[in-house]
Amino acid sequence: MADQGRGEGQNPKGKKTATRQSRSCRVCRLRKVKCDRVKPCHACCAHGHPSKCVYDIGPDDDEAQPIAQAEEIQNLRNEIKELRTRINQQGGQEARTRKLAELERLFQAIRSEPIDVVDNLVGSIRTNRQDRLSKATVKRENLPLRMLTPASFDDKDDDGETLEGWHLVRSRKPYSGFSDSHSSSSGSGSSSSTDSITVDEDWSGPLSRFAPQKPMLDLFIQRFVDAFSPEVDASSGHAGALRAGAEIRMFSPLISSAYDAVSLTFFGRTVKDPRIEAAGIKLYPKVLRSLQEALLDPERSRSEATLVTVTLLLAFESIERTSDAGVVAHVRGAAQLIQHRGPENHVQGVEHLLFAELRPYWVGVSLVDRKPCFMDNDAWKNIPWSMGTTTKDMLHYLIDLVVEIPALLGEHDDLVAAQESQILGKGELRAKQARLWNALSDLTNRFEQWKRKHVDTYPGGPIKEMEIPQSSTDPFPIFRCRDLRTMKIVEPPPLVYPDLRLLQTMCFYYAIRLIFSTIDDRPEGTVSMPEKYQFACGITRSLEDYLRRAPGNMINRLAFATRVAWEAFPPGGPEREFMGQVFNLVEKRHSLRLWGSFMPELTTRPGSPP
């Protein structure tokens, strides 16, 4: 009886264990690991398989249903809010509120104010710092923000690098929306006074809920995200991938370190402060080492953290251009990583956004390498959109055709090499050439069908030729080209598009047709020289409309097409002179060294001059 009683007492416990196991997701049950019962759970997210997190629970069992990840995050935010309220009730509420208000106003100013306002703000910070240094010796623990330099970390190893204890000092300026709250309420003028905001380590009100020890980095990261992942609608082209990556950085030290390095570097270049820029560059090797370790790990190499970091460092290369082949190397690495992960791992979340938004980059590197593209199959053309995270638009339907071109470029190169080496007989050469010509003819017809379906009847309206009013404070270079009938130099008006998505798509289309024409030597049906010239002019005449309307650094989406147009024009002509001015303008305005180099690494022609 005693044994029976003990058995009965143990039954509920054993039954509870079995029930808890049965409520785990399929992957955690198979791996026999603990599941936190969030959808998708932490284990599946950490291993890069959020789409595989499936729970075998009936819809009627409400108590056993997993909690959604968004709901779990909201619960955590509510808990943090309650804890912050309890801390504030312990005293010092007024001081902490004032500090938070000051920091938030600075945050908004650097994020949204014009560049000249930000420059003035940064200049006032520098001036105030110099005045303070001339009056007193600044202690190590009270370093101001502008002393964030590599020397600040000299006594710390790479693993101990931190940005704690930053101090932000600024002089009061009469900027709109940036006045001191308690000063204005007292009625005293604050424009001539000087104050400081000190962000101490024990301060309990940082902008970030997740990284209280690095409050100022949130500001830099937000500035970077606003530039490289602006909030735009579908008519401008989706750009939310890096913004979504920033929102999950608290879950991954790798992603967090990468955003720290890139945002510091970008902010330093934007405000022309080499010390902040150098601080970000110093963090870059550490991120690369961590990324290399992740890539060598079979599990971590497939995680979303690794994919986000690789793509993020692509943005870093466009800012700094650490080497001549850095940008292409990162694009190639990201494309190989996407191929390694498979199409089923890019159906939702950050992974889908990175794949879909930057899809022109992934096919572009295959065009540069002139090798078959891994996306040239039905799985990659359909599975990533199977869950409806986003929908295919005209650009993606164009890319469905473009993915066939890299293989044709490789076939053409092999055919030319065989002709030069004479290793193939004439009959075999003619057969290979006939197959290539048939493929070129078929693809040309499908390009024309795509244009008739998506461009000629575009719902937003047609592309127009019109003059864009010039600003005396923001002039734009004037494009000049030749009238092919008279060979005189003329100034055609810019092309103005109904929306930026059509503009980006058409520039990509013109570039693809130019690349395609370099191997199209069919006796008839090829693109004529005047048509090639008009394709290149179409790209250059679109640049002003895009640069004036595109938010942030979305101009990077035209980098590949712009380089293709550059190569289509003859050296020394007015067309290249205009493009050189645009390259330098983009480098100066958007802090992108990639453009200032004229982007020779993006060429699809081996041996193309820089």
Backbone angles phi, psi at 68, to 5 degrees: -70, 150
- pLDDT reading at 140 higher than 80: no
Q: What are phi and psi of 124, to 5 degrees?
A: -65, -35
117 lies in a domain? yes
Least confident of 64-78, 119-133, 332-346: 119-133
- Amino acid (one-letter) located at 113: E
3-state secondary structure of 423: coil
523 shares its domain with 591? yes
Give 176's pLDDT tier (boundaries 50, 70, 90). Answer: very low
Tell me the two tokens of residue 490: 């003329």
For residue 156, pLDDT beyond 90 = no
pLDDT digits (tens, 9 = 90+) for 319-330: 999 888 889 999
Distance of alpha carbon 606 from the chain centroid: 28
pLDDT (mean) for 492-511: 97
Same-domain pairing of 335 and 301: yes
- Please report whether residue 248 resides in a domain: yes
Q: Closest Cα to residue 534, out of 572, 569, 574?
A: 569
Q: Is-contact 111 219, C-beta < 8 A?
A: yes
Nearest to 263 by CA among 210, 213, 201, 214: 214
Quote the DSSP letter at residue 67: E
- Give the range of the structural domain holding residue 28, as residue numbers without chain letter: 20-90
Q: Are residues 98 and 65 in the same domain?
A: no
Name, in order, each residue with C-beta under 8 angstroms of 273's C-beta and a sequence gap of 6 or more.
122, 146, 267
Least confident of 54-63, 104-113, 528-537: 104-113
Over residues 547-556, the mean pLDDT reads 93
Q: Is residue 563 part of a domain?
A: yes
- How many structural domains does the chain have? 4
Give the pLDDT score at 148.
36
**pLDDT at residue number 79:** 81
Q: Are residues 372 and 468 in the same domain?
A: no
* Res. 192: pLDDT tops 80: no
d(CA 366, CA 150): 38
Percentage of residues in the chain with pLDDT exceeding 90? Answer: 53
* pLDDT number for residue 207: 34
* CB-based contact 510:528 (threshold 8 Å): no
Nearest alpha-carbon partner for 516 in 451, 456, 568: 568
Given pLDDT bands bounded at 50, 70 and 90, which one contains residue 584?
Answer: very high
- The pLDDT value given to residue 96: 67
**Cβ within 8 Å of residue 348, ≥6 positions away:** 50, 51, 387, 389
Q: What's CA 228's distance to the chain center, in Å?
A: 5
Q: Are residues 27 and 99 in the same domain?
A: no
Q: How far apart are CA 77 and CA 515, in angstroms?
A: 51
- Residue 76 shares a structural domain with residue 149: no
Instruction: Over range 556-582, report the average pLDDT.
Output: 96
Query: Does residue 233 lie in a domain region?
Result: yes
Tokens of 586: 């983009």
Report the chain's mean pLDDT, rounded to a whole number: 80
| Residue 571 or residue 169, greater confidence | 571
Integer Cα distance of 256 and 243 in angstroms: 13
| Residue after which a domain boundary falls, among 90, 125, 141 | 90
Is 468 a residue whose pLDDT tops 70?
yes
How would residue 173 be classed by pLDDT, with cut points 50, 70 and 90? very low
At residue 149, the pLDDT reads 36
More confident residue, 159 or 222: 222
Look at residue 391 and tell me whether its pLDDT is greater than 60.
yes
Task: Provide the pLDDT for residue 23.
Answer: 81
Amino acid letter, residue 178: F
Weakest mean pLDDT among 53-62, 150-159, 402-411, 424-433: 150-159
Q: How many DSSP H helices and E strands does the chain contain?
A: 25, 8
Question: What are residue 197's DSSP bridge partners?
Answer: 168
Angle at 257 (CA atoms; ends 251, 258), nearest 5 degrees: 105
Of 172, 205, 238, the domain-final residue:
205
At 59 the pLDDT is 67
Domain boundary among 175, 205, 235: 205
| pLDDT confidence of residue 147 | 33
Q: Is 60 exceeded by the pLDDT of residue 499? A: yes
pLDDT tens across 50-106, in order? 778 888 877 666 667 888 777 777 778 788 888 877 777 765 666 667 777 777 776
Domain co-membership, 495 together with 584: yes
Reported residue count of the chain is 610
Percent of the chain with pLDDT over 70: 76
Whether 46 has a pLDDT exceeding 80, the answer reads no
User: Do residues 481 and 566 both lie within one domain?
Assistant: yes
Tell me how far apart the alpha carbons of residues 547 and 471 are, in angstroms, rounded to a whole number.
Answer: 13
- pLDDT at 194 (0 to 100): 32
Is there a cis peptide before residue 570, judged by omega within 30 degrees of 0?
Answer: no
Question: Could you tell me if residue 10 is inside a domain?
Answer: no
Mean pLDDT of 567-576: 95
What are residue 218's DSSP bridge partners? Answer: none
Six-digit token pair at 334? 């990201």
Quick check: 142 pLDDT over 50?
no
Given this model, what pLDDT does residue 506 score? 98
Q: Give the β-pairing of 464-465 and 194-198.
A: unpaired
- Token pair recorded at residue 190: 């604050």
Residues 141 and 197 occupy one common structural domain: yes
Query: Residue 32 and residue 16: Cα distance in Å, rounded?
Result: 16
Rounded Cα distance, 530 and 155, in Å: 63
Same domain, 241 and 353: yes
Residue 161 contacts by C-beta under 8 Å, 6 or more apart in sequence?
153, 282, 283, 286
CA dihedral sign, ordered 548, 554, 557, 559: positive
pLDDT of residue 130: 59
Would you tell me the crossing angle of helices 500-517 and 426-454 to the nearest 10 degrees?
Answer: 160
Six-digit token string for 400: 């469905």
Is 7 within a domain? no
Query: What is the CB neighbour count within 10 angstroms for residue 600?
Result: 14
Q: Is 413 within a domain?
A: no
Q: Is the pLDDT of residue 306 over 70?
A: yes
- Are 582 and 476 found together in one domain? yes
Which segments of 144-208 does DSSP mark as H helices, in order? 181-186
Report how far residue 119's alpha carbon sits from residue 113's, in angstroms, rounded to the nearest whole number.
Answer: 10
CB neighbours of residue 420 within 10 Å: 8
Phi and psi (nearest 5°) for 67?
A: -85, 140
Residue 34 domain flag: yes
Q: Which two tokens stand for residue 332?
A: 């190639």
Q: What is the rounded average pLDDT of the residues 209-237?
A: 79
197's tokens: 């905001």
Task: Verify that 85 and 101 share a domain, yes or no.
Answer: no
Given a contact cutoff of 8 angstroms between Cβ atoms, the answer to whether 52 and 27 are in contact is: yes
